Amino acid sequence: MSEEPTRSRAATEERSGSRRDRERPPAPEPLPHPVVDNHCHLDIADGDWVPTADAIAAAAAVGVARIVQIGCDLPGARWAVRAAAEHAALVAGVALHPNEAPRQAEAGTLDEALAEIESLARTHDKVRAIGETGLDHFRTGEEGRAAQVESFRRHIDLAKRLDKTLVIHDRDAHDEVLAVLDEEGVPDRWVMHCFSGDAGFARRCLDRGAYLSFAGTVTFKNAQPLRDALVVVPADRVLVETDAPFLTPTPYRGRPNASYLVPLTMRTMAEVRGADLEALCAAVDANTERAFGGAW
């Protein structure tokens, strides 16, 4: 059942009039040590659907041996659980995305939806994470922010009660995210997904025990503050992700992203940090296991 996508990025863009090059980039040179793509959306199709087993095999061929599949709404969370049960290389994260929470609240179904997220997390041992949750001030206006905050607080509580890793989405809401975390208290393990702040914000997250995860955005020309942040992250707190099918790294920005493109981001990260690539890959691999509760 996990072989059908939950939605299509391409269809959304066609409705909005957007056009992109959807040719899949070529596979990069394999990494010298395996790493984990700790944030991926295999259930979102971008152009032609790639079966899950094929996507996993393509990633493994270049040294991306494992993937954390993140569900962002109820269909996505159910899909993530099924896919993780079917594929040894996957574990799952389940949550209501910050932009999904206001929709559920408006429909009067937020409590019901959160109850199902809790049930999925309790029932399936391959659910390692509660996320992605958090705050998004880019796509959600003032009218939806109270629901976002309520949902975020309840996801934090759930991660703590179930001893799951908290995965945070933060878009244009740095101070507000930290304020909620300070009020609620952080769980033992938490990840700033697709870290988007500067070096100062990185230090504030690290002071609270975060793992910081870097996506293809770190390769973008206009992302110098993000690269400055990457430099200050200790070697035992840095992670890598795709957020696929979004945020494809340079030089293929705008084309479909997938876990097999992680080596492009890892090589940029090693260059920015002045680190040996193999040593950084080994650190990222070990960090991801700690961040998500052990090997799988």
Which pLDDT belongs to residue 71? 97
Residue 115 in this model has a pLDDT that exceeds 90: yes
Please give the Cα distance from 229 to 213 (Å, whole number). Answer: 11
pLDDT in tens, 127-165: 999 999 999 998 888 888 999 999 999 999 999 999 999
Count of structural domains, the chain:
1
Residue 17 in this model has a pLDDT that exceeds 70: no
Counting residues of the chain whose pLDDT is more than 90, the rounded percentage is 90
- Domain membership of residue 190 (yes or no) is yes
- Domain membership of residue 30 (yes or no) is no
Residue with tokens 């770190």: 218
pLDDT in tens, 161-196: 999 999 999 999 999 999 999 999 999 999 999 999
pLDDT in tens, 74-111: 999 999 999 999 999 999 999 999 999 999 999 999 99
Residue 52 in this model has a pLDDT that exceeds 60: yes
Domain that holds residue 274: 41-291
- Domain membership of residue 83 (yes or no) is yes
pLDDT confidence tier of residue 15, bands split at 50, 70 and 90 = very low
Which pLDDT belongs to residue 84? 98
pLDDT in tens, 229-239: 999 999 999 99
Tell me what the mean pLDDT of segment 37-44 comes to.
98
- Domain membership of residue 117 (yes or no) is yes
Residue 9 in this model has a pLDDT that exceeds 60: yes
- Domain membership of residue 120 (yes or no) is yes
CB contact at 8 A, 236 and 265 = no
- Domain membership of residue 35 (yes or no) is no
Residue 28 in this model has a pLDDT that exceeds 80: yes
- Domain membership of residue 76 (yes or no) is yes
- Domain membership of residue 47 (yes or no) is yes
Give me the CATH number covering residue 266: 3.20.20.140
Residue 12 in this model has a pLDDT that exceeds 50: no
Tell me what the mean pLDDT of segment 32-45 comes to.
98
User: Per-residue DSSP letters for 3-46?
Assistant: TS-SEEHHHHHHHHT-----PPPPPPPPPSS-EEEEEE-TTEES
Residue with tokens 């691999």: 285
